[in-house]
Amino acid sequence: MADLESFRKELREYLEKNAPVGMRGAAGLEEGYWGGRNPKLPNPDSKRFCEMMAERGLTAPTWPKEYGGGGLGAEEVKVLEQELGRLRLPAPLTGFGLQMIGPTLLQFGTEAQKREHLPNIIQGKIRWCQGYSEPNAGSDLASLQTAAVIDGDELVLNGQKVWTSYGDLSDCMFLLVRTDGSAKKQQGITFVLLDMNQPGVEVRPIKLISGASPFCESFFTNARAKLSNVIHGLGNGWTVAKALLGHERNMIGGLFGGGAGRGPKDSGLPKNALAELARAYVGDKDGRLNDATLRDRVAQLSIEHRSFLLTMQRNADGLKAGQRPGPESSIFKIYGTELNQRREELMLSIRGPQCVGWEGPGFEQSETDQTKTWLRSRGNTIEGGTSEVQLNIIAKRVLDLPD
């Protein structure tokens, strides 16, 4: 206990002294900092804040110290979160490096691979993207066809990936390739890390109905990856791929539950933003919303959101204590994403006709933004594996039901 208090004291002093002024109060106000060779700065101080936190391993607080992580236990991480919260500082770093490939490397990487890649992730130097899906391999991922053959100490890649989130902003990709076309489909797959800054890699953004372009098609024409960047050996990629998906599903569930990873902009606490929004549009009397049906819907969704938040928090505590995500991460994924879609729909109906605008006078910025976030939320139940696929996993691997 005394150790924990001295940790708190020292951390508080470090943050008070070093946290850039521009980051204080910024928690929940903007998208997170993703790092990279040419980083996008949601806030001018994001990079500096990330660097000062990384100096003490606090961008990856639970990762081992020998790779640059914080080496903290679950109780210390809680203190870190409380102290960040005290100054309303956001998480210093986010992204697929920290939340997907990093934890996977800790599990499957060789010592040399961990030493090469983990410090760069922790320091926010490299931004990662995920090359799993292909035009004919989504839910049936093991049907992937991007081929790789050995040439000296490299793999030469040819093929195409699709729906590569932030492929145009990333430096490196972790991807699945087929290294043995004659083996059973899961067995011919290899998991490899690729530097995207080379002539054999072309990335084209895809535009969505929301108007945003968060993902890309990626083409490989004799692209080269080092054999030393194959994770867990040639032909063993399927095991690595499934473990990474566990981390991904936890991350996606956490985005809407406020557990692992960055919390949602509105956690429902201490102010209930849904209720505030409803109050602004339908008014209230003596603190009660004027529309009784809406009041009921807001209360119900807030209860569900709060329960999910607490469950995710319990799960996040387990992960901090070294537990690995299992197939139950599918439950968080499906529940969190569907809850978020219902929440977006409720916000849309609260705003009513004000939410059918796209741009121009007559609409507040927050109203046109709402239309776009509602459209974006449709993808939540597809990315990281569709809801139907999650139900299959829960049936087989959690409930042990027959095929």
31 near ligand FAD, judged by CB under 6 A: no
Whole-number Å distance between alpha carbons of 279 and 271: 12
218 near ligand FAD, judged by CB under 6 A: no
* E strand or H helix that includes residue 313: helix 292-320
Closest separation between CB of residue 168 and ligand FAD, Å?
12
Q: What is the DSSP string of 143-201?
A: G---EEEEETTEEEEEEEEEEEETGGG-SEEEEEEES-TTS-TTTTEEEEEEE--STTE
From the list 9-17, 83-91, 132-140, 336-344, the region that binds ligand FAD by CB under 6 A is 132-140
Instruction: Name the token pair of 132.
Output: 């799993």
3-state secondary structure 223-257: EEEEHHHEECCCCCHHHHHHHHHHHHHHHHHHHHH
Residues 353-392 within binding reach of ligand FAD (CB under 6 A): 379, 382-383, 385-386, 388-389, 392
336 near ligand FAD, judged by CB under 6 A: no
Nearest residue to ligand FAD on Cβ basis: 138
Closest separation between CB of residue 381 and ligand FAD, Å?
9
Whole-number Å distance between alpha carbons of 402 and 250: 25
210 near ligand FAD, judged by CB under 6 A: no
What's the DSSP call for residue 323? P
124 near ligand FAD, judged by CB under 6 A: no
Buried b (16+ CB within 10 A) or exposed e, 277-301: bbbebeeeeeeebebeebbebbeeb
**Interface residue with ligand FAD, options 63, 132, 220, 374 (CB under 6 A):** 132
Closest separation between CB of residue 385 and ligand FAD, Å?
5
Closest by CA to 187, choosing from 228, 226, 233, is 233
Q: Looking at beta carbons only, is 27 or 395 nearer to ligand FAD?
A: 395
SS3 295: helix
Whole-number Å distance between alpha carbons of 134 and 151: 24
Whole-number Å distance between alpha carbons of 158 and 145: 9
Q: Looking at beta carbons only, is 130 or 272 nearer to ligand FAD?
A: 130
138 near ligand FAD, judged by CB under 6 A: yes
Q: Looking at beta carbons only, is 138 or 200 nearer to ligand FAD?
A: 138
Closest separation between CB of residue 320 and ligand FAD, Å?
25
Residues 159-178 within binding reach of ligand FAD (CB under 6 A): 163-165
**Interface residue with ligand FAD, options 49, 67, 215, 256 (CB under 6 A):** 215
130 near ligand FAD, judged by CB under 6 A: yes
What's the DSSP call for residue 23? G
Residues found near ligand FAD in the complex (CB under 6 A): 129-133, 138-139, 163-165, 215, 379, 382-383, 385-386, 388-389, 392
